[in-house]
Chain A
Amino acid sequence: MLSYAIRRTLGAIPTLFLIITFAFFMMRIAPGGPFDGERRLPPEIEANINAAYNLDKPLYEQYFIYLGRLAQGDFGPSFKTKDFTVTEMIASGLPVSIKLGLTAIVLALLIGTFLGVFAALRQNRPADYSVMTIAMVGITIPTFVTAPLLTLLFGVYGVHIFGLDITLPVGGWNNGALRNMILPVIVLALPQIAVIARLTRGSMVEVLHSNYVRTARAKGLSSWRVVTRHAMRAGLLPLVSYLGPAIAGLATGSLIVEQIFGIPGIGRYFVQGALNRDYTLVLGVVIFYATLIILLNLVADILYRVLDPRVRYD
């Protein structure tokens, strides 16, 4: 197992290198540069700025300068946000995105598996159909619809139930106060709950019809014991492979949720960086994201092996 992990890690290095190279040149092929603002600059000023950022050098030289810096762990200065380096920007946004993302995924995991198992146990009965219909709706309604709806409902109008006045902040992070996290976490978790519920139901239905579960039932084990001890262990396995990329996706933030709720995470860096031609920021985020995906996939594969003795990687 250890040798497997080492082999996988070593194999990731050329992958990462290719991604960096590809991303570097892709960014440069895009027309327009980081300083091509709506307001153009006099030629002498433009020359000064290009010199300050090494943009006056040939592209291959810039590439090697970048690789050299990267080897020392320096992602370089952001081309747009002059007061922060790329490392500082990721370091400031990452804890926020991780906190929000992990809370959402944990919530989604708890509710999603519960709903999935519940539906599987009542297969093809009204409870099953209603849970799966709601899950389908959850998958199809995009976050840019749920987010504004929820903010209008809970923030602008305020919800009054049983004499309780529930008014939540519409935006802002406020150092991660619970009140500020509720709406964004719900918006992030909703589609995940739906996916997880469907995944769980599917595999649970399959497992509940398998021979060993029938054997367990035949031996007179209680229904609860059959489900929790035997069926769920196998039934939740597909989730492990899903969770790797899902955690990576959620922990690196969501552009839409961050924009709508004004959350200082790293999700917006990718899209805004690309639009601003902020070369170093885009590369920094690409490298970070790629590393995280590779790592979490590795963890998922190893976990899978631990959980399912039938899987062998040797």
Chain B
Amino acid sequence: MIAAIFTRARFAAAIAAILVISACGQNEQQAQTDAPAAQAQMSITRGEAGEPDTLDPGLATTTSEHAILGEVFLGLTTEDAKAQPIPGAAERWDVSADGLVWTFHLRDHTWSDGTPVTAEDFVSGWRRVLDPKTAAAYALILYDFKNAQAINAGKMPVEQLGVRAVDARTVEITLEHPAPYLPQLLRHQATFPFPRHVFAAHGADWIKPGIQIGNGPYIVTEWLPNDHITLVKNSRFYDAANVAIDRITFIPINDPNAALRRYRAGEMDALNYIPEDQIDWLKANLADQLTIVPKLTIAAVVLNETRKPFDDIRVREALNLAYDRDLMTKTIIRTGQEPAYSIVPPGIADYPMTAQLSFKNLTQPERIARAKELMLQAGYGPQKRLALTFSTIASQDARRVTAAIQQMWREVFVDLEIAQFDGRVLVSKRRAGDFDAAPTGWLADYNDAYNFLFLFLSDNDLNDAKYKNPMFDALLGEAQNEPDLAKRGQILARAEQMLLDDHVWIPTRYEVVSNLVQPHVRGWVTNSSDINRTRWLTIER
């Protein structure tokens, strides 16, 4: 009996120990929540589709990172409420007659710790991004700067970069070729200034919340991975008087349905993406809060030209014709996408949008008739069908879309097999050229047509179709040396028409930006860049 009591006591002790451990956790956490909360402040909670990988502007690559870093740093240019480029850290700039030398005059402003922002902060930031040791994925954003590519490849020292701090508030950039889109480019996080003095004091920790400083409207005070990132207003921001919101909480959330529930429960003021399968419900119930605008993104299908029969332009054109864009956008996907007949999407700056697929004005039955003709000419028909594999991502949506393509192409003697892979596997297959047909697309890094067309240069590693056309390459070279924006746009449009006539890609739809914003958030303009800086917003309840 004594033994029994003893044993029971131990069992009870074990259970008690577990309870104590969890209770201790509770007390500790409780203490943190009891910290005084600021009451009268104006704050906003924003849902973001992804968790940032880093808050180092030199290393950042994703749009979620750009959304946060653009609140903390000010590039030479920045965005207005509609995401159009406006002067940022630079007040104004001059361009040399040949378009190669740009001189930026910095406004008199400081970092959030009070140290002045100097031309040298920009110069050292760019050198750092291009230094091979930094291993910055977006170093390519700076490749228009003189010698940048050679420096990044380790063939030249960073001091050779074509940039110069003329004086503390003047920075000069020399380019490889005229780049009239430079003000668009200089909004990118890879071009942001670098607080050298903080890096000197803290090394790699310079980007940690509490240590990181910025020259923008907000600074990061807290980052709990997969939970939230808190930013508070930088009182030293040059235009702080016109910034209404004191506090931003970014919530990274990658499950669109969970995100929508939290938005509906009022836990978020704005959400920059929606679950696509809920579109009907959203349109019926939250029509006043949902805005959908075209995005600077093209979705397409790529055919592998190194494989037979995709080297035959008739087959490519037939598949292009048979892809029913209206059916896809109106019936299958239905989130407001527009059918695409070009590779460069509408809304691109200084671009005439004259390049279009030749069959744009034909009806779908006319297109099918023409496609059948081309397939017969290429040696296919009801008796000899073309078997091909469509390699796509392993998701429910991808399956739905591909099944529709299967039906569309069946009409033109194609038997489509669907192969689904995990994202990384699909990328490595595409890169190795191990596919017949695959979904593809491009989201603009900066608002310029060249950022789409360069994908098809013969020597571009991203050229999955393995398209090679010396005339196209020459036209793009010509455009890069044309300082006049209008003339340049026309040259690029000619180059795009070449791609469309060669049926290199099957452009399918222009993607959209879908934002959900609560009515009490004022000043929000849903735009094609999907950038909404908090400094332009206010809350009115």
Residues on A close to B: CB < 8 A?
A: 30-33, 35-45, 47-49, 51-53, 80-84, 89, 92-93, 95, 98-99, 102-103, 105-106, 109, 148, 151-152, 155-156, 167, 169-177, 229, 233, 258-265, 268, 275-277, 303, 306-307, 309
Contacting residue for B225 out of A49, A89, A276, CB 8 A = A89
Point out the residues of chain A lying under 8 angstroms from B422, CB to CB.
Answer: 32, 275
Point out the residues of chain A lying under 8 angstroms from B364, CB to CB.
Answer: none
Contact assessment for A44 and B153 in the assembled complex, using a CB-CB cutoff below 8 Å:
yes
Q: How far is the CA of A35 from the CA of B32 in the complex (A)?
A: 37
Given A173-B227, A262-B251, A307-B7: A41 in contact with B424 (beta carbons within 8 A): no
Whose C-beta in chain A lies nearest to the C-beta of B208? A83
Between-chain CB contacts (< 8 Å), 23 pairs: A31-B425, A31-B428, A32-B423, A38-B427, A40-B427, A40-B431, A41-B137, A48-B134, A48-B139, A82-B59, A83-B207, A83-B223, A93-B226, A98-B25, A99-B22, A148-B258, A156-B264, A170-B262, A177-B33, A233-B4, A262-B253, A263-B227, A264-B226
Q: How far is the CA of A123 from the CA of B133 in the complex (A)?
A: 71
Q: How far is the CA of A170 from the CA of B55 in the complex (A)?
A: 27
Q: How far is the CA of A152 from the CA of B431 in the complex (A)?
A: 43
Given A152-B261, A155-B261, A170-B262: A93 in contact with B225 (beta carbons within 8 A): yes
Q: How far is the CA of A167 from the CA of B52 in the complex (A)?
A: 30
Please give 9 more A-B residue pairs, beta carbons under 8 A apart, in addition to A93-B226, A171-B261, A171-B267. A36-B424, A36-B431, A89-B225, A92-B224, A99-B26, A151-B265, A170-B258, A170-B264, A277-B424
Q: How far is the CA of A90 from the CA of B224 in the complex (A)?
A: 12
Contact assessment for B149 and A175 in the assembled complex, using a CB-CB cutoff below 8 Å:
no
Asked whether B135 is an interface residue with its Cβ less than 8 Å from the other chain, the reply is yes
Asked whether B254 is an interface residue with its Cβ less than 8 Å from the other chain, the reply is yes
Contact assessment for A83 and B56 in the assembled complex, using a CB-CB cutoff below 8 Å:
yes
Q: How far is the CA of A156 from the CA of B152 in the complex (A)?
A: 51
Binary CB contact string for chain B from 196 to 235 against chain A (1 if under 8 A, 0 otherwise): 0000000000011000000000000001111110000000
Contact assessment for A268 and B33 in the assembled complex, using a CB-CB cutoff below 8 Å:
no
Contacting residue for B423 out of A99, A105, A177, A275, CB 8 A = A275
Contacting residue for A48 out of B152, B226, B267, CB 8 A = B152
Q: How far is the CA of A52 from the CA of B132 in the complex (A)?
A: 9
Point out the residues of chain B lying under 8 angstroms from A32, CB to CB.
Answer: 422-425, 427-428
Point out the residues of chain B lying under 8 angstroms from A36, CB to CB.
Answer: 424, 427-428, 431
Whose C-beta in chain B lies nearest to the C-beta of A103? B22
Whose C-beta in chain B lies nearest to the C-beta of A268? B226
Given A82-B53, A176-B29, A177-B33: A102 in contact with B140 (beta carbons within 8 A): no
Q: How far is the CA of A276 from the CA of B208 in the complex (A)?
A: 23
Contact assessment for A259 and B29 in the assembled complex, using a CB-CB cutoff below 8 Å:
no
Task: Enumerate the 8 nearest inter-chain pairs by beta-carbon distance, A residue then B residue, closest first.
Answer: A32-B424, A52-B135, A264-B227, A44-B153, A176-B29, A82-B54, A264-B226, A32-B428
Contacting residue for B427 out of A37, A176, A263, CB 8 A = A37
Contact assessment for B25 and A174 in the assembled complex, using a CB-CB cutoff below 8 Å:
no
Whose C-beta in chain A lies nearest to the C-beta of B253? A262
Q: How far is the CA of A60 from the CA of B315 in the complex (A)?
A: 46
Q: How far is the CA of A148 from the CA of B265 in the complex (A)?
A: 13
Residues on B close to A: CB < 8 A?
A: 3-4, 7-8, 10-11, 14-15, 18-19, 21-22, 25-26, 29, 32-33, 51-56, 59, 61, 132-137, 139-140, 149, 152-154, 207-208, 223-228, 251, 253-255, 257-258, 261-262, 264-265, 267, 422-425, 427-429, 431, 461-462
Whose C-beta in chain B lies nearest to the C-beta of A49? B135
Contact assessment for A106 and B425 in the assembled complex, using a CB-CB cutoff below 8 Å:
no
Contacting residue for A106 out of B22, B51, B207, CB 8 A = B22
A144 to chain B, nearest CB (A): 10
Point out the residues of chain B lying under 8 angstroms from A37, CB to CB.
Answer: 61, 427
Contacting residue for A81 out of B26, B53, B257, CB 8 A = B53
Point out the residues of chain A lying under 8 angstroms from B61, CB to CB.
Answer: 37, 39
Point out the residues of chain B lying under 8 angstroms from A176, CB to CB.
Answer: 25-26, 29
A312 to chain B, nearest CB (A): 15
Contact assessment for B461 and A175 in the assembled complex, using a CB-CB cutoff below 8 Å:
no
Classify the secondary structure of B's interface with A: helix
A148 to chain B, nearest CB (A): 7
Contacting residue for A170 out of B25, B54, B265, CB 8 A = B265
Contacting residue for A40 out of B135, B253, B461, CB 8 A = B461
Contacting residue for A51 out of B8, B21, B135, CB 8 A = B135
Q: How far is the CA of A99 from the CA of B258 in the complex (A)?
A: 22
Whose C-beta in chain B lies nearest to the C-beta of A88? B225
Q: How far is the CA of A151 from the CA of B258 in the complex (A)?
A: 9
Contact assessment for A303 and B424 in the assembled complex, using a CB-CB cutoff below 8 Å:
no
Whose C-beta in chain A lies nearest to the C-beta of B207? A83
Contact assessment for A264 and B207 in the assembled complex, using a CB-CB cutoff below 8 Å:
no
Given A36-B427, A99-B22: A172 in contact with B262 (beta carbons within 8 A): yes
Interface centre among B135, B153, B224 (most CB of A within 10 A): B135
Given A93-B226, A172-B262, A262-B251: A35 in contact with B137 (beta carbons within 8 A): yes
B61 to chain A, nearest CB (A): 7
Contacting residue for A260 out of B53, B227, B258, CB 8 A = B258
Contact assessment for A306 and B29 in the assembled complex, using a CB-CB cutoff below 8 Å:
no
Point out the residues of chain A lying under 8 angstroms from B267, CB to CB.
Answer: 169-172
Point out the residues of chain B lying under 8 angstroms from A92, CB to CB.
Answer: 224-225
Contact assessment for B135 and A42 in the assembled complex, using a CB-CB cutoff below 8 Å:
no
Point out the residues of chain A lying under 8 angstroms from B208, CB to CB.
Answer: 83
Contact assessment for A49 and B137 in the assembled complex, using a CB-CB cutoff below 8 Å:
yes
Q: How far is the CA of A82 from the CA of B56 in the complex (A)?
A: 9
Contact assessment for A148 and B261 in the assembled complex, using a CB-CB cutoff below 8 Å:
yes
Contact assessment for B54 and A81 in the assembled complex, using a CB-CB cutoff below 8 Å:
yes
Contacting residue for B461 out of A43, A82, A105, A303, CB 8 A = A43
Interface centre among B228, B254, B261, B422 (most CB of A within 10 A): B261
Whose C-beta in chain A lies nearest to the C-beta of B393? A38
Point out the residues of chain A lying under 8 angstroms from B429, CB to CB.
Answer: 31
Q: How far is the CA of A67 from the CA of B512 in the complex (A)?
A: 47
Q: How far is the CA of A188 from the CA of B387 in the complex (A)?
A: 48
Point out the residues of chain A lying under 8 angstroms from B255, CB to CB.
Answer: 259-260
Contact assessment for A45 and B228 in the assembled complex, using a CB-CB cutoff below 8 Å:
no
Contacting residue for A264 out of B59, B225, B462, CB 8 A = B225
Contact assessment for A275 and B261 in the assembled complex, using a CB-CB cutoff below 8 Å:
no
Contact assessment for A172 and B135 in the assembled complex, using a CB-CB cutoff below 8 Å:
no
Whose C-beta in chain B lies nearest to the C-beta of A78? B53
A234 to chain B, nearest CB (A): 11
Point out the residues of chain A lying under 8 angstroms from B21, CB to CB.
Answer: 98, 102
Point out the residues of chain B lying under 8 angstroms from A156, CB to CB.
Answer: 261, 264-265
Q: How far is the CA of A109 from the CA of B422 in the complex (A)?
A: 39
Q: How far is the CA of A112 from the CA of B77 in the complex (A)?
A: 62
Point out the residues of chain A lying under 8 angstroms from B223, CB to CB.
Answer: 83
Contact assessment for B152 and A45 in the assembled complex, using a CB-CB cutoff below 8 Å:
yes
B227 to chain A, nearest CB (A): 4
Point out the residues of chain A lying under 8 angstroms from B227, CB to CB.
Answer: 172-173, 262-264
Q: How far is the CA of A103 from the CA of B11 in the complex (A)?
A: 18
Point out the residues of chain B lying under 8 angstroms from A47, CB to CB.
Answer: 132, 153
B413 to chain A, nearest CB (A): 32
Contact assessment for A45 and B136 in the assembled complex, using a CB-CB cutoff below 8 Å:
yes
Given A45-B136, A106-B18: A171 in contact with B262 (beta carbons within 8 A): yes
A126 to chain B, nearest CB (A): 31
Q: How far is the CA of A249 from the CA of B15 in the complex (A)?
A: 18
Q: How far is the CA of A152 from the CA of B261 in the complex (A)?
A: 7
Whose C-beta in chain B lies nearest to the C-beta of A168? B265
Q: How far is the CA of A95 from the CA of B26 in the complex (A)?
A: 10
Q: How far is the CA of A16 from the CA of B33 in the complex (A)?
A: 39
B37 to chain A, nearest CB (A): 12
Q: How far is the CA of A93 from the CA of B26 in the complex (A)?
A: 15
Contact assessment for B135 and A48 in the assembled complex, using a CB-CB cutoff below 8 Å:
yes
Contact assessment for B22 and A102 in the assembled complex, using a CB-CB cutoff below 8 Å:
yes
A205 to chain B, nearest CB (A): 21
